[in-house]
């Protein structure tokens, strides 16, 4: 994308072509601008020149450019001191490295970090002048182009790749947190919520909280202002978490907000409305109504107008209940200031909308419509309906009114209202989650009216829009259930609809996965490599496409009946098409990088998936929507899909029953009971009954789990009834209930691979084998904590656990896993160059500091995996436990975001840890009424895949030490012959344990799962 920079010189220049203001780049508007910086401490003499670089999405400077006269005694350290005085923010820089600038030649670059984030200093010496650019690494291309222009003394054409704040990836907001005006970020957070991008909105509000805690300018706020801002950020983040289904984390955010003392009427109303929404999301209508009925606390000190109405702050009023249009996304507010009474009407209309929704859901459509109609009239009355920031509120009100008409049999009026919603959102939020949600509501209405073909067209439009925007259906799962039900019902007679079900199922994203992908996207955005540059470029293009679509939608409205405007419409469409072509080229280049593939939401067509499979393979995919589970089966003969007869709750109950007999903690000790064999058989029938014959015909099962099945390896399900009957008869006669020989486990005759997604499996299959020269490196046997001094050096992670503390207990570090299996695995693998890192040497810092991890084909971690949040309300941040580095800032955890930044070239990573693929957040999600798990799959495993591993082996429960089961399993795995598929090698090792009465319980053999392509060889022939 070609953009422009304007530079303003501070002092007279010895280069006559350099004007006070000139443009760089031949296309586009001025995204960034360099302004003269008179008085800059780095510019000490009349011969020095300085510019401050600002960009339109940043209210503060993002960097500086200098032309400095060097004195005879000036050294490198002196130059850095001058730059630090200008910067006014401490950074730590690495050693300078050589780079080459087009048209300039050799230059020195330093990569730095600090509280401001990733920073960069670039310098070029020319005679007695040194030219320098310093600033945020995210704006590196603007700094480089500005420096080249200053040195050339003329306009230098070039491209600037900067991801703006309104991107499809909210992680970039954190990179800009040090430069963006808080009101701008707040407005953008509201806008992302309005467009339905809840995970991104949550990141914006979270970044504001971080900014408030560390920004020196926050000290200028009064205590009341500071408290109100903190409160607003928290309640907004709580709402976004609730929209994502992360209810326990939302509870914690709202509880924290209630602890902030505020008498501001606006803040009290916000919290009232958002907590009521939270309760509606949890289907707690009585709780929501109680919140709306509760009198607000004292409003002493609230801002009021002459008429006594409440006054919302500008950053709230302009964006309240849906945020501004995209054209206003970067801090531009309403054209005229809203009066206090108007501002109060907006937020109170929202409260009435919630009350009407509760009445409708409670079976009272008439009273509900009365409330909703009054609320809509109040909203539309403000400036004759010309307040663009309440578009989403108006749409929600019209949608709710439509459902009240439908409930009373007035279907014609209901359809009119639903189409009005589409028109409203189509103009302000084209091709967003919000618009697709409205389309889904219309589609469900059409299904209820028996107009299935019309509904299919609507839903296919949703899928096409989502795929075109490379987005997901996060937050829309419940709205899509009618579509999935319709497909499942029609597939027996119309098998071609299986392709629709497969396409739609790939766009669903679990809440935990959505949160993880935001975190990993931020990591990728912050990088300095080519993948990071391309990713930021793709995000910028997404932003430009979104902006262009909004402008086009508004232009088309204006052009109705005006032939003279049709050429402008055509040109606007052509511009969008060109941007889309540029985006496709960028994404094609990105596809070569594992980090991007690990976070990309792109799916496969059914034809592409079938072409990926080999003879003798079957792909089974689960998708959970609400309390329903849908299955897809794909093999060489074709494909089919169906809805499970068992509900998601039923399956979750059976999974819990099985896990409790496999590994459960009783009085602090891991305990195993006799497996509930009938339940394992029932669960097999629930999942595979409709495709049992097709499953029996394949040898390699690729399983993509969802819902509760994320917590259980599928290989322990029982494929035949005969063994069950024989087992029960033997036990009834006094036989050993722990002897499970003779059971027809699914994993006895089927090698099993687990897939993160269809595309992830295809990518794993297509990846070339590792070219690493060394065979194996193992990590484990962490050093236990020796005492309170070491614990105190852990930056709070090991502090005594308080109610609001999300750190882990120090006891976690005092149970190291012995390195025995590492030594035996290294011996079994043999080959060139094996290495073990154990004890005090196994720290997170040591792992991250190694520059040679890409030289090993197999990495093996025998340590604890911490994937369950420490307490309800804490986010799941999966990590591997390591030793501490007492003299450094180690936290004893190798976090998933740190893993993602490693550079691997591995065929396999083995996570022989506790629960690394298991029930992340089971207790907290159960408390929230959910049954999902898979935190390690969403975090640790995805991070290792992104770092460059073709496959990962992870465990569903604590690896057993009894009977040397884990050692035997690993030894059998690594004894695989050359070119033997890894899944087949694992299956053979498991069968040996199945056939030993001491280890026939699934606890001993079933826990490890291969994520990736199990048909790849464990040790490729060279």
What SS3 state is found at 146?
A: helix
What SS3 state is found at 376?
A: helix
Model confidence at 620, pLDDT cuts 50, 70, 90, reads: very high
> Has residue 917 got a pLDDT over 50?
no
Cα separation of 619 and 312, whole Å? 54
Beta-ladder partners of 670: 665
What percent of the chain lies above the pLDDT cut of 90? 31
Cα separation of 334 and 306, whole Å? 21
Whose CA is closest to 328, among 397, 205, 476, 429? 429
Average pLDDT rounded to a whole number, residues 712-727: 95
Structure tokens at 579: 């941007």
Cα separation of 478 and 471, whole Å? 17
Average pLDDT rounded to a whole number, residues 757-775: 89
Instruction: State the chain's mean pLDDT as an integer.
Output: 78
> Has residue 954 got a pLDDT over 70?
yes
What SS3 state is found at 898?
A: helix
pLDDT, tens digit, 9 for 90 and up, residues 122-144:
889 888 888 999 888 777 777 88
With beta carbons less than 8 A apart as the criterion, state whether 914 and 870 touch.
no
Q: Sign of the C-alpha dihedral, residues 871, 872, 876, 877?
A: negative
Model confidence at 176, pLDDT cuts 50, 70, 90, reads: very low
The residue whose two tokens read 């902006």 is 547
> Has residue 427 got a pLDDT over 50?
yes
Q: In this structure, are strands 834-839 and 774-782 parallel, antiparallel, or unpaired? A: parallel
> Virtual CA dihedral for 177, 180, 184, 190, nearest 10 degrees?
-20
Cα separation of 449 and 418, whole Å? 14
pLDDT, tens digit, 9 for 90 and up, residues 311-334:
333 333 333 333 322 223 222 233
Q: What are phi and psi of 666, to 5 degrees?
A: -125, 115
409 contact partners, CB below 8 Å, separation of at least 6: none
416 membership: H or E segment, kind and range: helix 411-428
pTM of the model: 0.75
Model confidence at 655, pLDDT cuts 50, 70, 90, reads: very high
Cα separation of 417 and 372, whole Å? 13
Please state which of the ranges 138-147, 647-656, 790-799 shows the lowest mean pLDDT: 790-799
Q: In this structure, are strands 49-55 and 22-24 parallel, antiparallel, or unpaired? A: unpaired
pLDDT, tens digit, 9 for 90 and up, residues 214-251:
665 666 778 888 888 888 888 888 888 888 777 888 88
**Can you give the pLDDT at residue 976?**
77
Model confidence at 518, pLDDT cuts 50, 70, 90, reads: low
410 contact partners, CB below 8 Å, separation of at least 6: none
How many angstroms separate the Cα of 354 from the Cα of each of 46, 351, 928? Answer: 64, 5, 22
For residue 466, count CB atoms less than 10 angstroms from its CB and return exposed for 0-12, middle for 13-18, buried for 19 or more: buried
Q: Is 948 left (phi over 0), alpha (psi -120 to 50) or beta?
A: left
Q: What are phi and psi of 955, to 5 degrees?
A: -105, 145
> Has residue 185 got a pLDDT over 70?
no
Please state which of the ranges 747-751, 918-922, 945-949 shows the lowest mean pLDDT: 918-922
More confident residue, 625 or 517: 625
**Can you give the pLDDT at residue 30?**
41
pLDDT, tens digit, 9 for 90 and up, residues 539-555:
777 777 877 887 787 78
Whose CA is closest to 606, among 682, 503, 725? 503
**Can you give the pLDDT at residue 197?**
64
């Amino acid at each position: 994308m070609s953009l422009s920079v304007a530079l303003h010189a501070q002092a007279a220049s010895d280069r006559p072509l350099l004007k006070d203001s000139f443009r760089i780049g031949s296309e586009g508007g001025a995204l960034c601008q360099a302004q003269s910086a008179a008085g800059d401490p780095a510019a000490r003499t009349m011969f020095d020149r300085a510019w401050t670089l600002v960009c339109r999405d940043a209210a503060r400077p993002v960097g500086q450019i200098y032309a400095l006269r060097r004195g005879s005694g000036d050294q490198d350290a002196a130059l850095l001191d001058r730059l630090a005085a200008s910067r006014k923010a401490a950074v730590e820089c690495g050693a300078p490295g050589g780079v080459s600038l087009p048209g300039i030649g050799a230059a020195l670059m330093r990569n730095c970090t600090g509280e401001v984030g990733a920073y960069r200093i670039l310098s070029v010496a020319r005679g007695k002048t040194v030219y320098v650019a310093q600033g945020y690494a995210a704006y590196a291309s603007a700094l480089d182009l500005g420096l080249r222009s200053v040195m050339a003394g003329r306009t230098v054409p070039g491209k600037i790749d900067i991801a703006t704040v309104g991107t499809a990836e909210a992680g970039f907001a954190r990179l800009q947190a040090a430069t963006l005006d808080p009101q701008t970020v707040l407005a953008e957070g509201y806008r992302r919520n309005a467009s339905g991008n809840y995970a991104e909105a949550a990141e914006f509000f979270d970044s504001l909280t971080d900014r408030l805690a560390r920004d020196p300018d926050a000290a200028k706020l009064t205590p009341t202002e500071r408290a109100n801002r903190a409160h607003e950020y928290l309640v907004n983040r709580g709402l976004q978490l609730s929209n994502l289904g992360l209810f326990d984390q939302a509870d914690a955010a709202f509880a924290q907000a209630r602890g902030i003392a505020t008498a501001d009427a606006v803040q009290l109303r916000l919290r009232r409305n958002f907590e009521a929404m939270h309760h509606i999301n949890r289907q707690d209508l009585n709780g929501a109504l109680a919140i709306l009925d509760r009198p607000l606390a004292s409003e002493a000190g609230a801002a009021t107008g002459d008429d006594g109405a409440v006054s919302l702050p500008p950053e709230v009023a302009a964006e309240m209940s849906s945020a501004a249009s995209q054209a206003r996304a970067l801090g531009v507010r309403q054209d005229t200031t809203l009066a206090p009474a108007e501002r109060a009407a907006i937020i109170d209309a929202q409260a009435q909308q919630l009350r009407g929704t509760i009445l409708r859901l409670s079976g009272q459509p008439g009273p509900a419509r009365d409330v909703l109609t009054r609320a809509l009239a109040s909203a539309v009355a403000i400036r004759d309906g010309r307040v663009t920031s309440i578009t989403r509120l108006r749409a929600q009100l019209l949608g709710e009114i439509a459902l009240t008409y439908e409930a009373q049999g007035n279907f014609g009026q209901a359809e009119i209202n639903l189409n009005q919603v589409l028109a409203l959102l189509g103009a302000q939020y084209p091709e967003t989650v919000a618009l697709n949600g409205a389309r889904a509501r219309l589609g469900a209405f059409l299904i209820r009216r028996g107009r299935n073909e019309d509904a299919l067209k609507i839903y296919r439009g949703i899928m096409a829009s989502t795929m075109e925007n490379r987005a997901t259906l996060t937050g829309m799962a419940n709205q899509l259930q009618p579509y999935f039900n319709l497909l499942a019902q029609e597939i027996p007679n119309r098998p071609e609809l299986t392709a629709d079900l497969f396409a739609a199922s790939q766009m669903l994203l679990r809440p935990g996965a959505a949160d993880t992908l935001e975190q990993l996207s931020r990591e990728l955005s912050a990088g300095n490599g080519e993948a990071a540059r391309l990713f930021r470029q793709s995000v910028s293009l997404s932003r430009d496409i979104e902006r262009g679509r909004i402008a086009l939608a508004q232009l088309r409205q204006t052009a109705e009946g005006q032939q003279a405007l049709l050429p402008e419409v055509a040109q606007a469409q052509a511009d969008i098409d060109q941007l889309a072509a540029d985006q496709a080229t960028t994404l094609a280049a990105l596809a070569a990088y594992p980090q991007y593939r690990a976070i990309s939401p792109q799916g496969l067509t059914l034809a592409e998936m079938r072409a990926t499979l080999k003879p003798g393979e079957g792909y089974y995919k689960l998708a959970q929507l609400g309390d329903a589970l849908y299955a897809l089966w794909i093999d060489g003969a074709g494909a089919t899909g169906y809805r499970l007869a068992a509900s998601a709750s039923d399956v979750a109950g059976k999974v819990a029953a099985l896990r409790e007999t496999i590994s459960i903690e009783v009085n602090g000790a891991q305990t195993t009971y006799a497996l509930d064999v009938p339940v394992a058989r029932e669960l097999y029938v629930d999942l595979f009954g409709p495709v049992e014959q097709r499953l029996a015909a394949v040898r390699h099962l690729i399983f993509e789990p969802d819902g509760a099945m994320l917590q259980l390896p599928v290989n322990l399900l029982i494929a035949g009834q005969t063994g069950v009957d024989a087992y029960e008869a033997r036990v009834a006669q006094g036989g050993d209930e722990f002897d499970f020989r003779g059971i027809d486990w699914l994993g006895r005759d089927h090698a099993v691979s687990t897939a993160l997604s269809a595309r992830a499996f295809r990518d794993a299959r297509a990846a070339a084998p590792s070219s690493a020269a060394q065979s194996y490196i193992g990590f484990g046997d962490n050093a236990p904590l020796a005492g309170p001094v070491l614990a105190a050096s852990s930056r709070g992670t090991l502090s005594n656990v308080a109610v609001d503390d999300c750190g882990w207990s120090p006891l976690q570090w005092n149970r190291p896993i012995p390195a025995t299996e590492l030594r035996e695995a290294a011996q079994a693998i043999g080959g060139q160059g094996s290495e073990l890192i154990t004890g005090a040497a196994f720290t997170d810092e040591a792992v991250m500091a190694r520059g040679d991890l890409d030289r090993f084909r197999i990495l093996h971690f025998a340590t604890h995996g911490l994937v369950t949040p420490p307490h309800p309300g804490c986010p799941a941040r999966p990590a591997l436990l390591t030793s501490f580095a007492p003299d450094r800032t180690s936290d004893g955890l190798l976090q998933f975001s740190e893993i993602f930044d490693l550079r691997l070239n591995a065929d396999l990573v083995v996570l022989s840890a506790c629960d690394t693929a298991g029930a992340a957040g089971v207790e907290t999600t159960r408390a929230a009424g959910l049954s999902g798990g898979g935190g390690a799959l969403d975090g640790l495993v995805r991070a290792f895949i992104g770092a460059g591993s073709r496959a990962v082996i992870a465990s569903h429960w604590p690896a057993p030490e009894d009977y040397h089961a884990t050692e035997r399993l690993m030894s059998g795995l690594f004894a695989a012959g050359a070119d033997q598929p890894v899944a087949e090698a694992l299956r053979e090792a498991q069968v040996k344990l199945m056939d030993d009465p001491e280890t026939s319980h699934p606890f001993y053999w079933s826990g490890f799962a291969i994520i990736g392509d199990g048909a790849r060889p464990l040790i490729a022939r060279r």
